[in-house]
Amino acid sequence: MADADLMDKLVSLAKRRGYVFQSSEIYGGTGSVWDYGPLGVELKRNIKDRWWSSMVHERDDIEGLDAAILMHPRVWEASGHVDGFTDPLVECTNCHRRFRADLPEVEGGQCPVCGTKEAFTEPRMFNLMFKTFMGPVEDSSATVYIRPETAQGIYVNFLNVQGASRQKVPFGIAQIGKAFRNEITPGNFIFRTREFEQAEMQFFVKPGDDEEWFERWMQIRMQWHKDLGIRADKLRFHEHGSDELAHYAKKAFDIEYEFPFGWKEFEGIHNRTDYDLSRHQEFSGKRLEYIDAPTNERFIPYVIETSMGVDRTALVVLADAYREEEIEGETRVVLALNPSLAPTKAAVFPLVKKDGMPEIAQKLSEDLRAAAIPSFYDQSGAIGRRYRRQDEVGTPWCVTVDGETVENGTVTVRDRDSLEQVRISGDQVVSWIRERLA
CATH number at residue 61: 3.30.930.10
Q: Residue 267 half-sphere exposure, CB side, CA atoms within 13 Å? A: 28
Q: How many Å apart are CA 215 and CA 237, to the nearest integer? A: 12
Higher pLDDT, 265 or 187: 265
Q: In 3D, which of 434, 431, 427, 433 has the Cα closest to residue 410?
A: 427
Average pLDDT over residues 194-206: 97
Instruction: Identify which of 334, 438, 352 has the alpha carbon closest to the alpha carbon of residue 396.
Output: 334
pTM of the model: 0.92
Residues 284 and 429 in one domain: no
Residues 179 and 287 in one domain: yes
Instruction: Clarify whether residues 12 and 158 are in a common domain.
Output: yes
Whether 404 and 310 share a structural domain: no
Pair (290, 394) in one structural domain? no
Contacts of 373 (CB under 8 A, 6+ apart): 345, 346, 430, 433, 434, 437
Q: What is the largest CA-CA distance in the chain?
A: 79
Would you call 369 helix, strand, or coil by DSSP?
A: helix
**pLDDT tens across 50-109, in order?**
999 999 999 999 999 999 999 999 999 999 999 877 778 888 888 888 888 887 778 888
Q: What is the pLDDT of residues 266-294, one digit of tens each?
A: 999 999 999 999 999 999 999 999 999 88
Mean residue pLDDT of the chain comes to 94
Residue 247 has pLDDT above 70, yes or no: yes
- For residues 374 and 412, state if they share a domain: yes
Q: How confident is the model at residue 147 (pLDDT cuts 50, 70, 90)?
A: very high
Cis link prior to 301 (omega < 30° from 0)? no
The pLDDT value recorded for residue 126 is 79
Beta-carbon contacts of 310 under 8 Å, excluding residues fewer than 6 positions away, are: 44, 47, 48, 51, 176, 196, 197, 198, 199
394 lies in some domain: yes
User: 3-class SS at 191?
Assistant: coil
Domain boundary among 318, 352, 377: 318
Domain span at 404: 344-437
DSSP type of residue 417: T
- Per-residue pLDDT reduced to its tens digit, 337-349: 999 999 999 999 9
Over residues 417-432, mean pLDDT: 97
Residue 256 above 90 pLDDT?
yes
Of 114-118, 286-290, 332-336, 398-402, the poorest mean pLDDT is in 114-118
d(CA 320, CA 314): 10
| Residues 249 and 355 occupy one common structural domain | no
How many independent structural domains does the chain possess? 2
Q: What percent of the chain has pLDDT over 90?
A: 81
* Stretch 319-347: mean pLDDT: 95
Based on the domain organization, do 156 and 303 belong to the same domain?
yes
Could you tell me if 166 and 66 lie in one domain?
yes
Report the candidate in 369, 333, 341 with the shortest Cα–Cα distance to residue 46: 341
